[in-house]
Amino acid sequence: MKILIIEDEKLLVKGLKKSLEQEGFKVSVAYDGQEGIEVFETGGFDFVILDLMLPKLDGISVCRQMRQNSDVPIIMLTAKDGDIDKILGLELGADDYMTKPFNTRELIARIRAITRRLEKIEKSNKARKSIYKSGNLRVDIESRTVYRDDQRFKDAMGPTVDMESGTVYRDNVRIELTPKEFDILELLIRNKGRVFSREKIFELIWQEPCLDTRTIDVHVKNLRDKLKELEPDTTMIETKWGVGYYFKKD
């Protein structure tokens, strides 16, 4: 497994690189945001550890550029403990975050947990139903695409060819879903009518105990907003007050 560390604190990088390599990972390093993008574009990375505060190009901008063409798992590092930094990183597609100083063993555990979750989803998708529908909405689990399925939109879109990108198509405009947003949508639409608590959604998607239910609220809000652009008059993901969220039955 090949990991890219984008971090400007060289002492931190030195220790983290050594620990990861001892665990059997192959590690590349970049010390500023611009260099991070250049190294990432050489390809082949399975995971990115990305600092929020970087010289030349900040971590938020780096994350945004990566998400334009890749859904590689990203853990964002931040020296700040403010909710706004965490929320912004999650909104842009980071899979997780850790606040400095952090325990290296915990970071490695989170890398393995995210990797196991993605492998489990990939394996289960091969053996399960591929297309889920709600009104004109179509969710293609195999290709991780979501689109509106009526003739007017089909004619505008042409064939769906952006495989495993977790994107939404509306008319001739592509609306992107982050990997976590797609995972939540997949969970809910596979189980229409079933209410999932915020804690349960977190445990199923992140594959670890729930640390902060607000993380789920942020992802669900963003997902709702994007689905509203496809079906403005319909709320597909409903709230069961005091319990959690569910995808409404047709």
pLDDT (tens digit per residue) in 211-250 = 788 889 999 999 999 888 777 778 889 999 888 999 988 7
Reference 139, options 166, 157, 103, 107; nearest CA is 166
Q: Record the tokens describing residue 90, joined without a space.
A: 């999650």
Mean pLDDT of 60-89: 80
What mean pLDDT is reported for the chain? 82
What percentage of residues in the chain have a pLDDT greater than 70?
Answer: 82
Mean pLDDT of 61-69: 88
* pLDDT at position 159 over 60: no
Task: State residue 37's pLDDT score.
Answer: 94
Half-sphere exposure of 188 (CA within 13 A, CB side): 28
Residue-wise pLDDT tens digits, 102-147:
899 999 999 999 888 887 777 665 555 678 888 778 888 877 888 8
**Amino acid (1-letter code) at residue 135:** G
Q: Would you say 176 and 67 are in contact if contact means Cβ atoms under 8 Å apart? A: yes
How many whole angstroms separate alpha carbon 220 and alpha carbon 156?
28
- The topology (CATH level 3) of 129-247 is Arc Repressor Mutant, subunit A (1.10.10)
Strand ranges of the sheet holding 2-6, from the earlier edge strand across to the other edge: 26-30, 2-6, 47-51, 74-78, 96-99
**Beta-ladder partners of 26:** 2
Q: Of 98 and 131, which is predicted with more confidence?
A: 98
Domain 2-122 has CATH 3.40.50.2300: yes
Q: Would you say 219 and 226 are in contact if contact means Cβ atoms under 8 Å apart? A: no
What percentage of residues in the chain have a pLDDT greater than 90?
Answer: 40
Work out the pLDDT band at 172, boundaries 50, 70, 90. Answer: very low
Q: What is the pTM of this model?
A: 0.53
Q: Would you say 66 and 74 are in contact if contact means Cβ atoms under 8 Å apart? A: yes
Distance (Å) of CA 160 to CA 67, 166, 195:
19, 12, 31
In the chain, domain spans: 2-122, 129-247
- The neighbour count for residue 225, using CB atoms within 10 Å, is 10
Distance (Å) of CA 52 to CA 89, 102, 112, 134, 244:
8, 14, 21, 38, 31
Q: Record the tokens describing residue 106, joined without a space.
A: 């915990």
Query: Which residue, chain included where needed, has tokens 């290296």?
Result: 104
